[in-house]
Structure formats: structure tokens, C-alpha cells
């Protein structure tokens, strides 16, 4: 098993450009796995990657999501300088934008633990541990992925981190969107993750001040490595 993970911070990058890059890395890992199956006497270790980035304003709809959860038309999106993509991850609609930490782990789970439910749990746990360091209690909401605050109180439940992944042959892509200093007004144009009765929040909203993204990224990376068992290089 190769637990080494190459970390790349892509900075601010167009969504489609980052998506294409993910697809390239994802396909490369799968190609190695398929070749290993054909040639059991010549095994090549599969690489792993962890990408962090920020996107310009963009809405993405998962493959099982409903376009009815996009509450704006294309002109309104253009006026907000936002783009829109239908993509191949799970989950419904979400928003990405400045002030948000977007993480794309592209991992061969055969190098770690080939269990998708555990993998999603681990992503959630890394964010829960991160925000706990700032005094916020992150929790899970039954039947929904992501990290929530006050999930047991329907009128107060709000999401601070969305999670949506794709996997094939135990290789993952897409990942999480963690609201740190995010402009939450952009969530008004969607039913986030398909919910009509729940809000989104951010660290800045909850704690009353903006945060150094570089510092928060470091904490997220540390907890991901510790929980999943990555050796980040």
C-alpha cells in the first residue's frame, strides 16, 4: 500500500480547469490499477493526491440532483458573476466561491481503507476536528453528508461544510467545500444540497471575524492526514 499523498495548493482556480485536472489524475490512477490487473507480475504503486483550492463564484449540480434547486436563471447568475456546471459527483447543488476551502482528495482507497462510507465519515471528522479548535461544535445530520451546527434543532440547523464525491474502482475525486470566510448571500440562489429548510454558515459568520485561510488549511490538512492515514509529501 502506498500511503504517500502529494499535496498541491492550486490557489484561486477556475472550476472547470480544476475539474479537468482532477479527471486527469483520477484517470491516471485507474489506468495503473487496470494495468496491474492485467499484469500481476508487474505491479506499479498507485499515487494519491490532495488538492486544495478556491474557486470564483460557481454552482455545481451533482448527477442525482435536481435543477429545481437552482433558484436563479442564467442572466441572474451572470449578474452575480457566477457560473454553473452539471458534474459527476454525488449530492445535489452547492456553491463554491472565495473564502471557501475546497478540498479534492484523489486517493486510491485500496492504499487506505476501501470503504466509501468510512471515507466520507473521515472527511467529515477532519472538518469537525478543525472547527473544534476554534470553539465550534460540528456534528452530523442523519441522512445527509457534510458537517452541521445544531443539526438536532430544525430551525437552527446549518451546514458549514458540504461533501460530495465520485468513486470508481475505489479511486476518489471531488470532495469537500468548507465555508471559512464565504459570502453566504450566494447560497440564497439555491436550495443548498437540496434542502429548502436549512441554511449554510461559515466560520466568519459564527465567530464574528474573518480567518487566515492558510492557517485553517494547515489544520484541515493535518487532521485529514491523521484520520485517513496519509503521509503527505
- Give, as one character, the DSSP assignment of residue 109: G
Question: Residue 31: CB partners within 8 Å, gap ≥ 6?
Answer: none
CA–CA distance, 145 with 193 (Å, rounded to integer) = 9
DSSP SS3 for 79? helix
**From 51, 61, 147, 193, the catalytic residue:** 193
User: Could you give phi then psi for residue 175, rounded to 5 degrees?
Assistant: 165, -115
150 touches 198 (CB < 8 A): no
Half-sphere exposure of 229 (CA within 13 A, CB side): 12
Active-site residue 53, yes or no? Answer: no
Catalytic residues: 193
Amino acid at each position: 500500500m502506498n500511503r504517500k499523498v502529494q499535496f498541491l495548493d492550486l490557489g484561486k482556480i477556475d472550476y472547470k480547469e480544476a475539474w479537468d485536472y482532477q479527471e486527469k489524475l483520477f484517470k491516471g490512477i485507474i489506468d495503473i490499477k487496470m494495468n496491474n490487473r492485467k499484469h500481476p507480475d508487474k505491479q506499479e504503486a498507485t499515487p494519491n493526491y490532495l488538492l486544495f483550492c478556491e474557486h470564483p463564484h460557481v454552482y455545481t449540480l451533482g448527477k442525482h440532483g435536481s435543477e429545481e434547486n437552482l433558484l436563479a436563471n442564467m442572466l441572474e447568475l451572470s449578474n452575480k458573476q457566477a457560473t454553473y456546471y452539471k458534474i459527476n459527483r454525488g449530492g445535489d447543488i452547492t456553491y463554491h466561491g472565495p473564502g471557501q476551502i475546497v478540498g479534492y482528495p484523489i486517493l486510491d482507497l485500496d492504499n487506505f481503507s476501501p470503504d466509501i462510507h468510512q471515507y466520507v465519515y473521515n472527511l467529515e471528522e477532519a472538518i469537525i476536528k478543525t472547527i473544534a479548535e476554534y470553539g465550534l461544535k460540528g456534528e452530523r445530520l442523519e441522512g445527509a453528508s457534510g458537517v452541521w451546527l445544531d443539526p438536532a434543532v430544525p430551525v437552527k440547523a446549518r451546514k458549514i461544510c458540504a461533501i460530495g464525491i465520485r468513486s470508481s474502482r475505489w479511486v476518489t475525486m471531488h470532495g469537500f467545500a468548507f465555508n471559512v470566510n464565504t459570502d453566504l448571500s450566494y447560497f440564497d440562489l439555491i436550495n443548498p444540497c437540496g434542502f429548502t429548510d436549512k441554511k449554510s454558515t461559515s466560520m466568519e459568520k459564527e465567530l464574528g471575524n474573518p480567518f487566515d485561510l492558510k492557517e485553517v488549511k494547515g489544520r484541515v490538512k493535518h487532521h485529514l492526514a491523521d484520520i485517513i492515514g496519509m503521509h503527505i509529501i
